[in-house]
Amino acid sequence: MPFVAMTGTLGELTVPLVDNIREIVTLVQQIGNIDLYKRIVDLQADAVNLEQENLRLREQVANLEKKWEIQEDLAFRDNMYWRSSGEGPYCVPCWDNHRKLMRMAGNGDLFHCHTCHYAATTEAERRRMDADFRNWNQR
Ligand SMILES: [Zn+2]
């Protein structure tokens, strides 16, 4: 979901609520009611905090949406994850436990994760290892 365009400024952001309150503060200053002025200044601080919280939550939603898109795009094969584009493999424990898409290093048949040291093999490599084990047992 794209960010909704806002007007006014809050750091890099543009915010209409904070701008409106700033204008009200100016009007209340002109009236000269100190209690009203203090209340409006407090309200302005609350508005800034709400806008910052809103920004944080928008970023959190965008982050979760991105992770959901990745989850939907992952396929489980050979005990590893692969993107529909063919990219991969990616570490299963790193994604399942921490939602970190960690690429696994390997030689085409044996792969491992540098972050959690999870290791996985392709089906072809498992068959080759099973054959080696049988041959070794028959000696
Ligand atoms: Zn890992």
Q: What separation in Å is there between the alpha carbon of 129 and the centre of ligand 1? A: 23
In the predicted model, what is the mean pLDDT of the chain? 87
Q: What separation in Å is there between the alpha carbon of 121 and the centre of ligand 1? A: 14
Q: What separation in Å is there between the alpha carbon of 100 and the centre of ligand 1? A: 8
Q: What is the pLDDT of residues 116-133, one digit of tens each?
A: 999 999 888 888 888 888
Q: How far apart are CA 114 and CA 63, in angstroms?
A: 24
Q: Within the chain, how many helices (H) and strands (E) appear?
A: 4, 5
Q: What separation in Å is there between the alpha carbon of 35 and the centre of ligand 1? A: 58
Confidence (pTM): 0.63
pLDDT at 15 over 80: no
